[in-house]
């Protein structure tokens, strides 16, 4: 029951994140083309586009990272775990999932500290608060935390099991 609720919530977050990622990627591509046109054709570079693209890239990266986590598409080295007996492998999977959850929650908390350390500083040309850019880190890792906690609950309740061939987590069809 808990897993189904977490999974439904995580899936909605993933869909919203994907929409934002697609929109941001499109806007970033458009602004990059406009920037190139202004710089090389009109010899009049835009002053704000570099800052906008830099900030957008940070947000794009953090949201993309969280989406990879939601889909379990991130890199995993499974050569050692695949050689273990099945029971040991299950224990290692749970331990690894706990370590992942603790790690991403720690980075989330450090991201909040980063946002608070920005103070009232603003970017030079857009006057955008640095806190806005830095907010991408705790938001991205908050999303990853939700996805990884969902995965941990799924593993512990037996609703997700490890696929031995690829090392990825697959939902059980019951």
Question: What pLDDT is attached to residue 77?
Answer: 78
| Alpha-carbon 66 to chain mean position | 2
For the chain, how far is it from start to end, CA to CA, in angstroms? Answer: 14
Give the pLDDT confidence score for residue 149 in this predicted structure.
95
pTM of the model: 0.86
Q: In degrees rounded to 5, what are phi and psi of residue 171?
A: -75, 140
Q: Is 138 exposed, middle or buried (0-12, 13-18, 19+ CB in 10 A)?
A: buried
Contacts of 47 (CB under 8 A, 6+ apart): 125
pLDDT at 165: 39
Q: What is the per-residue pLDDT for 43? A: 93
- How far is 72 from 68, CA to CA, in rounded Å? 6
Residues 6 or more apart whose CB falls under 8 angstroms from that of 11 comprise 70
> Average pLDDT for consecutive 10-residue bins of the chain (174 residues)?
92 96 98 96 93 96 94 81 87 92 97 94 92 96 96 89 52 44
CB 162 within 8 A of CB 76: no
- Give the Cα separation of 45 and 53 in Å (integer): 14
pLDDT for the residue 84: 87
């Amino acid at each position: 029951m808990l897993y189904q609720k977490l999974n439904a919530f995580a899936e909605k977050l993933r869909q919203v994140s994907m929409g934002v990622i697609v929109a941001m990627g499109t806007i970033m591509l458009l602004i990059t083309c406009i920037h190139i046109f202004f710089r090389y054709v009109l010899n009049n570079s835009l002053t704000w586009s570099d800052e906008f693209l830099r900030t957008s890239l940070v947000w794009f990266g953090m949201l993309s990272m969280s989406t990879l986590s939601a889909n379990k598409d991130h890199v995993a080295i499974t050569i050692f775990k695949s050689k273990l007996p099945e029971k040991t492998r299950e224990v290692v999977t749970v331990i690894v999932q706990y370590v992942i959850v603790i790690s991403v929650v720690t980075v989330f908390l450090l991201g909040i500290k980063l946002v608070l350390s920005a103070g009232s500083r603003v970017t030079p040309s857009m006057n955008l608060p640095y806190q806005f850019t830095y907010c991408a880190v705790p938001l991205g890792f908050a999303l990853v935390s939700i996805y990884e906690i969902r995965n941990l609950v799924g593993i512990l309740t037996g609703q997700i099991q490890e696929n031995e061939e690829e090392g990825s987590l697959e939902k059980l069809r019951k």
